[in-house]
Amino acid sequence: MAVGVFDSGLGGLTVHQAIAARMPDLPLVYLGDNAHAPYGVRTADDIYRLTCAAVERLWDEGCDLVILACNTASAAALRRMQETWLPEGKRVLGVFVPLIEALTERQWGDNSPPREVAVKHVALFATPATVASRAFQRELAFRAIGVDVEAQPCGGVVDAIEDGDEILAEALVKSHVEALKRRMPLPQAAILGCTHYPLMARAFQAALGPEVRVFSQADLVAASLEDYLQRRPGFTGAGTRSRYLTTGDPGRVASKATQFLRRPIEFEPA
């Protein structure tokens, strides 16, 4: 049994880490498409094509269920994959819905009509492709009414993280938060809508101030995956080995991953 975890690069490791902490006996195969990152500046067609190829690679590893631990892929490709491409017996899940359910204080799978919720002003930080897709607002509208969302495309942050340049990433986070606050001075909640951003969570919280509740996805996605597998244990797949795969240079990717997660990680070529 193994579950696949996909991201365009290093960011999905934040989700992988949370899943591994919650379900230590579940083999996980991570695939980072570092050769093609960042996805956040690509077209929706391009993101769809790359994401399908990566998910197929994870099926070859014995994963029947793949988590798109990438908001950009979840926003730009997931719906199309589920509607037109997914073969019988395979599942692909994204990272938006668990986050929105937490924000709107819904139980998993609560499909009741949208209703008023406590939070009214939400700041969304995400890649340009995720912001352009408006997938977050669409999914939110299915569940909540009267929520004002201000979205900030955070150009450059993913590149800085993938390049291992934490100082640049921090400076960019500060300037993106300032830009958003000019349009929404008092957000109640902030969504880190890119799996790379939890690596910069402290910088986001510092720039936003202590009164803003910052939601990041890793733990929410891990909890909802655990719930999903309890209800559908058949989707743990035939794979038995945990591995980290990359389409990029394994040595280089391993050293960046080790730097960011502050523990040694070995990558193999995908």
Classify burial at 98, counting beta carbons within 10 Å of its beta carbon; exposed 0-12, middle 13-18, buried 19 or more: buried
Q: Is the CB of 70 or the CB of 123 nearer to ligand DGL?
A: 70
HSE-up (13 A, CA, CB side) for residue 170: 6
Q: Is the CB of 65 or the CB of 77 nearer to ligand DGL?
A: 77
Return the exposure string of 100-134: e unless at least 16 CB atoms fall within 10 Å of the residue's CB, then b.
Answer: bbbbbebeeeeeeeeeebebebbbbbbbbbbbbbe
> Does 52 qualify as catalytic in the annotation?
no
C-alpha span between 71 and 129 (Å, rounded)? 9
Q: Is the CB of 104 or the CB of 216 nearer to ligand DGL?
A: 216
What minimum distance in Å lies between the beta carbon of 68 and ligand DGL? 9
What minimum distance in Å lies between the beta carbon of 113 and ligand DGL? 29
What minimum distance in Å lies between the beta carbon of 14 and ligand DGL? 9
At 138, list the tokens. Answer: 């669409």
What minimum distance in Å lies between the beta carbon of 115 and ligand DGL? 28
Closest-approach residue to ligand DGL (CB) = 40
Residue numbers at the binding site for ligand DGL (CB under 6 A): 7-9, 11, 37-40, 70-72, 127, 130, 158, 194-196
What minimum distance in Å lies between the beta carbon of 75 and ligand DGL? 8
Q: 52, 63, 70, 154: which is the annotated catalytic residue?
A: 70
What minimum distance in Å lies between the beta carbon of 200 and ligand DGL? 12
Q: Is the CB of 158 or the CB of 225 nearer to ligand DGL?
A: 158
Side chain identity at residue 159, one-letter code: D
Q: CB neighbours of 64 closer than 8 A, spacing ≥ 6?
A: 89, 90, 91, 234, 235, 236, 237, 238
C-alpha span between 87 and 45 (Å, rounded)? 19
Closest CA to 217 of 65, 75, 81: 75
At 210, list the tokens. Answer: 């202590």
Q: Is the CB of 9 or the CB of 250 nearer to ligand DGL?
A: 9
C-alpha span between 127 and 241 (Å, rounded)? 32
Side chain identity at residue 269, one-letter code: P
Q: Is the CB of 16 or the CB of 239 nearer to ligand DGL?
A: 16
Question: Mind telling me the catalytic residues?
Answer: 70, 194
